[in-house]
């Protein structure tokens, strides 16, 4: 048995110190450094159960390295495959985070029951009976899914060596503990040690590992920030528990794009993939109401039609309110200043509330034109036809600026039944023989002339 030592770790960023100090010199946070017991032992190889030995790596010329594409494992879940970049890469470590009760365990259990591969679902939070109850509710049956309730990594690796699964799911990384570290589960040192062991196992065996991670009240994944650096992919499962829709985002992906988006609907029998997101982002109300406009946006390679709602009213108090949901409040203030200065609309003494329906957040500047249209519609109390669609950026001079991939946005709007598409006059549109009418404008005044 090696000598037991203690070290000091920052609970915020995971930086290690030799002695206690009030402020972390790395992340500048106060009173986050705590003492933890660290015990080092000789590690045993997970497969041979012998003392692990490592070979000395030798440098290789880059043109001598084989560049064969790694075959991905499809998950039978189109939304997850899209976010991952086409499937699961063998030997990868994927971290899934989200609010408590958002559906992380349900998503991964549902996927493990649909996979044609042998899967080991390791749970440190629920019993086997609880997992069985959830599986019966999901109504998926799979003879290749094994369930293990264990929190000790050494025991988990023993079972992996016996079962020999194709995919391993850990629920969750904060519940695991290793004999090599003498501290409680969920501490900085335990999370880092357990993740290191899982990374070594995944890279040596080529078996992909899914990790479920808890998050803090600020929305960040609990544990050291180095946890997100160590894994290959970081997925965020978002949504309001009061609504039925869930959004899966990729915050980091070494094997694909981080701009893709997956949308699910939470039902009593599990999560349903939403292949057409516009069905949830546009209201089904047949009546045309003032203050609403439809914007054509993009999330990765996927075009979306979203509904912008605006409410403009006389300010009751001295300072007018500016409130947004799903949209950048600073950008709203900029657009209101442009309307005031360049277009002559007096909105300085009015409250402005803006909402993007569906509970999602959009950063695409192409929705600026729809935001302007919704604000003007509410201010004038005149409705905009639901067959109109908008996609353009607004400049500080009041000009309508072009956006990228305009052809893809127009084709999606035409497919969904829109008849008029407003875009910048400076966009180069290569589409021909389209049924949708394309209106090209260059100033906000031209937009007002067409709508009101």
Is there a contact between 426 and 402 (Cβ–Cβ < 8 Å)? yes
Q: Which pLDDT does position 358 carry in this prediction?
A: 76
Closest CA to 292 of 87, 451, 107, 55: 451
Terminal-residue alpha carbon distance, the chain: 81
Q: Looking at residue 53, what is its pLDDT?
A: 45
Q: Look at residue 1 in the predicted model and tell me its pLDDT.
A: 45
d(Cα 448, Cα 380) in Å, to the nearest integer?
Answer: 11
The confidence score (pLDDT) of residue 266 equals: 86
CA separation for the pair 372, 293 (Å, rounded): 9
pLDDT given at position 47 = 54
CA distances from 40 to 4, 173, 242 (A): 7, 20, 46
Q: Which two three-digit tokens encode residue 447?
A: 């937009």
* Contact by Cβ (8 Å): 201, 209: yes
Handedness of CA 136, 141, 143, 145 (dihedral sign): negative
In the block, residue with structure tokens 């402005």: 352
pLDDT score, position 69: 66
Cβ-contact 339, 379 below 8 angstroms: no
442: left (phi over 0), alpha (psi -120 to 50) or beta: alpha
Query: DSSP label at 48?
Result: T
Q: Is the pTM of this model over 0.75?
A: no
- 255 DSSP 8-state letter: T
The pair of structure tokens assigned to 154 is: 């050494």
24-62 tens-digit pLDDT:
888 888 888 888 776 555 555 545 555 554 445 678 888
Q: What is the pLDDT of residue 428?
A: 87
The dihedral through the CA atoms of 95, 165, 265, 174 has a sign that is: negative
Low-confidence ranges of the chain (pLDDT < 70): 1-4, 38-57, 67-70, 240-243, 279-280, 284-286
**Longest alpha-carbon distance in the chain:** 82
Nearest by Cα to 170 from 155, 188, 189: 155
Residues in contact with 7: Cβ distance below 8 Å, sequence separation at least 6, in sequence order = 16, 17, 18, 35, 36, 38, 189
Q: Which of 447, 309, 325 is nearest to 371 (CA)?
A: 309
Predicted confidence at residue 415, as pLDDT, reads 85
CA-CA distance, 258 to 44, in Å (whole number)? 36
Question: For residue 224, what pLDDT is reported?
Answer: 74
């Amino acid at each position: 048995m090696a000598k037991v030592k203690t070290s000091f770790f920052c609970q915020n960023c995971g930086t290690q110190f030799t002695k206690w100090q009030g402020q972390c010199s790395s992340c500048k946070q106060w009173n986050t450094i705590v003492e933890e017991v660290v015990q080092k032992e000789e590690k045993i190889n997970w497969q041979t159960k012998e003392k692990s030995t490592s070979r000395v790596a030798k440098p290789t010329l880059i043109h001598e390295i084989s560049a064969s594409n790694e075959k991905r494992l499809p998950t039978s879940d189109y939304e997850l495959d899209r976010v991952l970049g086409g499937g699961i890469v063998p030997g990868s470590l994927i971290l899934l985070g989200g609010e408590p009760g958002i559906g992380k365990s349900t998503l991964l259990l549902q996927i493990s029951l649909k996979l044609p591969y042998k899967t080991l679902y390791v749970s440190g939070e629920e019993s086997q009976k609880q997992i069985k109850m959830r599986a019966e509710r999901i109504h998926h049956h799979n003879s290749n899914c094994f369930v293990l309730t264990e929190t000790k990594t050494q025991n988990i690796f023993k079972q992996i060596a016996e079962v020999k699964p194709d995919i391993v799911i850990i629920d969750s990384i904060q519940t695991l503990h290793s004999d090599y570290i003498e501290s409680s589960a969920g501490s900085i040192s335990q999370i880092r040690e357990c993740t290191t062991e899982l990374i070594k196992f995944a890279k040596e065996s080529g078996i992909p590992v899914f990790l479920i991670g808890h998050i803090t009240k600020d929305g960040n994944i609990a544990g050291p920030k180095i946890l997100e650096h160590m894994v290959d992919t970081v997925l965020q499962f978002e949504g309001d528990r009061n609504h039925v829709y869930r959004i899966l985002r990729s915050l980091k992906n070494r094997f694909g794009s981080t701009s893709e988006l997956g949308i699910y609907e939470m039902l009593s029998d599990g999560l349903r993939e939403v292949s057409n997101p516009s069905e949830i982002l546009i209201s089904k109300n047949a009546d045309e109401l003032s203050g609403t406009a439809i914007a054509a946006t993009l999330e990765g390679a996927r075009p979306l039609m979203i509904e912008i709602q605006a409410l403009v009213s006389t300010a009751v108090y001295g300072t007018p309110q500016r409130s947004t949901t799903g949209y950048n409040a600073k950008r709203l203030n900029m657009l209101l200043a442009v309307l005031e200065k360049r277009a002559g609309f007096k909105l300085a003494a009015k409250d402005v509330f803006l909402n993007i329906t569906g509970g999602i957040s959009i950063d695409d500047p192409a929705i600026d034109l729809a935001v302007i249209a919704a604000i003007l519609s509410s201010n004038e109390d005149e409705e905009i036809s639901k067959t109109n669609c908008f996609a353009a950026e607004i400049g500080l001079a009041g000009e309508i600026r072009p956006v990228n991939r305009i052809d893809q946005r127009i084709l999606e709007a035409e497919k969904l039944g829109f008849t008029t598409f407003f875009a910048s006059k400076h966009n180069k549109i290569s589409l021909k023989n389209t049924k949708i009418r394309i209106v090209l404008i260059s100033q906000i005044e031209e937009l007002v002339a067409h709508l009101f």
